[in-house]
Amino acid sequence: MKVTFPHMGNVWVILKTFLAGMGLEVIVPPPCTRRTLEIGVRQAPESACLPLKVNLGNFLEAKSLGADTIVMAGGVGPCRIGYYAQIQREILQDMGCDYEMIVLEPPDVHLSEVWDKLKYLKRRPWRKVLQGFILAWYKACAVDALEQEVMALRPLEAKPGLVDALYRKAILQIDAAGSKRQLRKIVRETVAEMVALPRQREYPILRIGVVGEIYTVLEPMVNLNLEKRLGAMGVEVVRKLFISRWINDNLFKGILPLPSHHAEKLAPPFLNHFVGGHGWESVGDTVAFARQGLDGVIQLAPLTCMPEIVAHSVMPAVQQATGLPVMTIYLDEQTGEAGLQTRLEAFFDMLQWQKGKRTG
Amino acid sequence: MKNKKLRLGLPRALFYYYYAPWWETFWQALGVEVVVSPPTNKEIMDLGVSLAVAEACLPVKIYYGHTAWLAGQVDVLFVPRLVSVEKKSFICPKLMGLPDMLRAAVKPCPPIIDTVINCVRQPQEGLAAAVEDMAGRVGFRGREVQSAREAAQERYLCWLERQQMGRANGATDLTSASAAGAAVSETGKPGLIDSAPAQAGSLKVGLVGHAYLIHDRFLSMDIPAKVKKMGGEITLPENLPPDQIALACRQLPKRLFWTLGQKIMGSVLSLIEQDSIAGIIHLTAFGCGPDSLVGDLAERYARRRGTPFLLLTIDEHTGEAGVNTRLEAFMDMLPRRYSA
Ligand code: SF4
Ligand code: SF4
């Protein structure tokens, strides 16, 4: 059995460690590129949401590397992610592409459903599986600690690109690391190197919050490197979506004392109910960012994303109440770099003008 | 509140087409004056399109239009937060946020009765809580509510039955005479989608899609009548027995957790088993989330069975001429395939 999985930003490092810990041979799909997207788009239903299309591209690219089994997440409603696997299975079948699919999702009938799937997958004793899981968790924390530094330091560096070069190198080191101690060292050393880089300014020009659907926020290929673009403009990006926090909120049910979204407290009265995906969180995070005094918020979503359309629809009320400007960007295979850059620059100019007015 | 009749606005859009008899009867039994917006027209659509975000699907935009139309004329609006109407199933994330979306866009907006309807875990309790909340918002409790609920349920079941026999059309023929005055006469009986047997030799065609698209004659551009004129005979999801639909869905490897998706998928799966069905038309809204997956799946199954399948996607820019052309081409193709 050679297992593969869908890509989402740096999540591959974590999934790879977890699956390898089960004693499985893991085929990491080639990194997402425009080609991955194009392959997926060609086969997927035209109006399916973007993550489904890119994932399909990942599966097809991993197939040519010899993968025969897909491990992925699912769901039981209300959003489309819960039916991704079924659609992808039928598409692969119609294409004559042979894959076994193992979908990890909340049980529909019996609690044992998830357990049975894990048991079927594992090739090593539970003790080893648990060790792998814990290592994967530490890697998630390491990746996120780095991401946060990168977001804060990009706008300051004198020569754009150096922070990112260190970041890329560190991700590969994290991938190879085998213990918590090693991970600590990698993070410590990388951060020290980043901090020591020459700077062109001591404070970011603006601070912008990023909210939205998790895939478009975390996968740079589909958001066309949004965070890097903003960083190069001197903007510090702030977000609350991190994979370690997602794991804590969703798999550990928030047991660990990590920051969380608290949409139920922050989103009302603007949005008073969960709406699937991250819609509620997008609104709650925007309110939190307003309170933190950020200069603006960018909401990201795949075109036709239902929860984010709801969030987008109530954003005018949030803006009116908090005074915080929000720009919503829908992404799909048609989104071009030039158009995106223009919108970012216009938003930047507007925020800077507002800030100037505020600070006199 | 009880001296002067409360005027409650009911937008004629989205789930009005599934629950109108229930809602109307219930509110009226509580002594509320129900005002239903007129059938969708150009003005309502333009209003909705101007208020909703561009990325929303047409049915949601239309709902904005109906709400805005009502906003100035009523004391309260009834916009339930429809999370789930049956166990372990959902409707659509957008309907879970609808009341909030409207509050942010319709200005000035009368108070909204945004009762949560959530039957996803315990249907009985979920429904009871919803009924209690609805009545509580207009100051009613206890016995009166119970009898209003019973009256509503009875009227609803009777309507469902007539619908299955092809006699009722998306609630329009049941619209209370007391409400919305002129609006009712505009719809009335001619609005019936008559799926009773047509002349011999006609082609049987399945038409699947959300009731709020198919039965809104402005949105659907009266496709049923068009098909009939082209020599077709329509079968709708509402004409099929619900257990037949549920049974057909059971052949899917994974349970479909969307109520409306089940209807579409189950109808297609059972229609393609019937040799008398010549083809299937799926009417969908551009950008509809659930349909993008369910519709694709349905089309795949139909294709594997060799049943011709036409996907008609509509939005506010869809022209009637284009729809006619595609329908004609599809209907022309059927007899040849069918007799071959
Ligand atoms: S949250 Fe958005 S992207 Fe994710 S499944 Fe739902 S519609 Fe698709
Ligand atoms: S089910 Fe489709 S058409 Fe209906 S509200 Fe949701 S997205 Fe729109």
User: Per the structure block, which two tokens stand in for A111?
Assistant: 């609690």
Average pLDDT over residues A208-235: 98
Q: Do A79 and B292 touch (CB under 8 A)?
A: no
Using CB atoms within 10 Å of the CB of residue A338, give its burial: 0 to 12 exposed, 13 to 18 middle, 19+ buried.
Answer: exposed
Could you tell me the residue ranges of all domains in chain B? 7-175, 193-339
Instruction: Return d(Cα A123, Cα A22) in angstroms, integer.
Output: 6
Instruction: Return d(Cα A324, Cα A211) in angstroms, integer.
Output: 13
Q: What's residue B175's pLDDT?
A: 38
Average pLDDT over residues A322-346: 97
| List of residues 6+ apart from B9 with CB closer than 8 A | B35, B36, B37, B67, B70, B71, B73, B74, B76, B77, B78, B110
**Domains A2-122 and A204-360 in one fold:** yes
CATH of domain B193-339: 3.40.50.11900
- Give the number of beta-carbon pairs within 8 Å between A and B: 131
Strands A2-4, A69-73: parallel, antiparallel or unpaired by DSSP? parallel
Strands B81-84, B116-118: parallel, antiparallel or unpaired by DSSP? parallel
Instruction: Return d(Cα B184, Cα B38) in angstroms, integer.
Output: 7
Instruction: Work out the minimum CA distance from A47 to partner chain B, whole angstroms.
Output: 5
Q: What's residue B168's pLDDT?
A: 58
| List of residues 6+ apart from B235 with CB closer than 8 A | B195, B204, B205, B206, B207, B271, B277
The highest-confidence range among A19-23, B2-6, B142-146, B169-173, by mean pLDDT, is: A19-23
What value does the mean pLDDT of chain B take? 89
Between the CA of B59 and the centroid of ligand 2 the distance, in Å, is 7
Q: pLDDT tens digits for B270-312?
A: 999 998 999 999 999 999 999 999 999 999 999 999 999 999 9
Q: How confident is the model at residue A253 (pLDDT cuts 50, 70, 90)?
A: confident
Q: pLDDT tens digits for B8-66?
A: 999 999 999 999 999 999 999 999 999 999 999 999 999 999 999 999 999 999 999 99
| List of residues 6+ apart from B127 with CB closer than 8 A | B117, B119
**Domains B7-175 and B193-339 in one fold:** yes
Domain range A2-122, CATH class:
alpha beta
Q: What's residue A112's pLDDT?
A: 87
Count the residues in chain B: 340
Instruction: Return d(Cα B214, Cα B230) in angstroms, integer.
Output: 18
Could you tell me the residue ranges of all domains in chain A? 2-122, 140-153+157-200, 204-360
Residue of B214, B210, B212, B242 lying closest to B86 (CA atoms): B242
Strands B7-10, B232-235: parallel, antiparallel or unpaired by DSSP? unpaired
Q: Is the pLDDT of residue B198 over 90?
A: no
Residue of A57, A104, A63, A327 lying closest to A219 (CA atoms): A57
DSSP string covering A53-64: HHHHHHHHHHHT
| List of residues 6+ apart from A338 with CB closer than 8 A | none
Instruction: Work out the minimum CA distance from B176 to partner chain A, whole angstroms.
Output: 32
* Domain B7-175 listed as CATH 3.40.50.11890: yes
- Residue with the two structure tokens 């004693």: A23
* Test site for ligand 2: of B94, B216, B265, most ligand atoms within 8 A of the Cβ: B94
Q: How confident is the model at residue B339 (pLDDT cuts 50, 70, 90)?
A: low
Kindly report the number of other CB atoms within 10 A of residue B195's CB atom.
21
Q: How confident is the model at residue A243 (pLDDT cuts 50, 70, 90)?
A: very high
What is the chain B residue with the closest CA to A44?
B296
Q: How confident is the model at residue A109 (pLDDT cuts 50, 70, 90)?
A: confident
Instruction: Return d(Cα B260, Cα B295) in angstroms, integer.
Output: 11
Q: Do B53 and A79 touch (CB under 8 A)?
A: no
Q: Do A78 and B252 touch (CB under 8 A)?
A: no
Ligand 1 atom closest to A215 (CA): 3
**pTM for the complete prediction?**
0.94
Instruction: Return d(Cα A150, Cα A74) in angstroms, integer.
Output: 31
Contact A132, A121 (CB under 8 A): no
Q: Is the pLDDT of residue A303 over 50?
A: yes
Q: Is the CB of B285 inside a 6 Å radius of any atom of ligand 2?
A: yes
What is the chain B residue with the closest CA to A321?
B104
Q: What's residue A42's pLDDT?
A: 97
Residue B173 per-residue DSSP state: G
Report in angstroms the alpha-carbon separations of B85 from A167, B40, B119, B130, B249.
48, 25, 5, 11, 18
Q: How confident is the model at residue B166 (pLDDT cuts 50, 70, 90)?
A: confident
| List of residues 6+ apart from A318 with CB closer than 8 A | A270, A283, A286, A287, A290, A324, A326
Residue of B287, B189, B282, B294 lying closest to B249 (CA atoms): B294
Instruction: Return d(Cα B101, Cα B111) in angstroms, integer.
Output: 13
Residue of A53, A82, A93 lying closest to B294 (CA atoms): A82
What value does the mean pLDDT of chain A take? 96
| Nearest by CB: B93 against A79, A85, A330 | A79
Q: Is the CB of B216 inside a 6 Å radius of any atom of ligand 2?
A: no
Contact B306, B278 (CB under 8 A): no
Strands (E), chain A: 2-4, 25-26, 69-73, 100-104, 206-212, 235-239, 296-302, 326-331
Q: Is the CB of A49 inside a 6 Å radius of any atom of ligand 1?
A: yes
Ligand 2 atom closest to A304 (CA): 7
Q: Please tell me the number of Cα atoms within 13 Å of A66 on its side-chain side.
A: 5
The neighbouring-strand residues paired with A330 are A301
Instruction: Return d(Cα A196, Cα A201) in angstroms, integer.
Output: 13
What is the chain B residue with the closest CA to A302?
B55
**Pick from A290-294, B90-94, B190-194, B244-248: least confident:** B190-194
Average pLDDT over residues B69-86: 97
Report in angstroms the alpha-carbon separations of B36 from B12, B13, B80, B137, B302.
6, 10, 15, 19, 38
CATH of domain A204-360: 3.40.50.11900
Contact B279, B330 (CB under 8 A): yes
Instruction: Return d(Cα B16, Cα B176) in angstroms, integer.
Output: 13
Q: How confident is the model at residue A77 (pLDDT cuts 50, 70, 90)?
A: confident
Contact A317, A270 (CB under 8 A): yes
Q: Is the pLDDT of residue B172 over 50?
A: no
Q: A269 preceded by cis ω (within 30°)?
A: yes
Chain B residues with CB inside 8 Å of A277's CB?
A: 93
Q: Is the pLDDT of residue B173 over 60?
A: no
Q: What's residue B165's pLDDT?
A: 84
| Nearest by CB: B292 against A48, A78, A89 | A48
Report in angstroms the alpha-carbon separations of A285 from A204, A288, A298, A323, A325.
21, 5, 11, 15, 13
Kindly report the number of other CB atoms within 10 A of residue B300's CB atom.
17
